[in-house]
Amino acid sequence: MALSIGKSAPKFKLASTDGTTLSSEQDLKGKSYILFFYPKDFTPTCTAEACEFRDQFEAFRELDIPVFGISKDTIETHLKFKKVHQLPFELLSDPDGKMCKAYDALIPLIKMPKRVTYLVNDTGKIAGVFSGMFESKEHIDAMIASLNKQTNPVK
């Protein structure tokens, strides 16, 4: 079960493909952002999902919403994955799965990340969520719909 809308997003610090350590408390404070958890670089559905985020990236950039992909893969593997697929966003490495677990994005028995995507709003709360292991495009569609609700709230 993914984290619920309205819950506080867990804080994190993870190595990024840009060569830094990304801190939600420092680098993302006061910003909305998207986190998409996925099982493994270079697998078919994970590649499709990352490429779909790449293909729709301009919509997120126009809204100043950074996108981050997260798996247990190493930074070295992430860098290859990012280069091969020309991904315009950073990938974060969670080798011990602590962040995956905090975001309820870890399959308990096999300790593999689930495919779940979150929109975190500028106050650090979950504003959108989509979970589905075999879908790729639906994650992006759900985040765009969540962003539309956030920027055009129903009164």
Is the Cβ–Cβ distance between 114 and 83 less than 8 Å? no
100 as an active site residue: the answer is: no
DSSP lists the bridge partners of residue 107 as: 112
Is the Cβ–Cβ distance between 100 and 72 less than 8 Å? yes
Catalytic position from the list 14, 35, 46, 99: 46
Q: Which residues are tagged catalytic?
A: 46
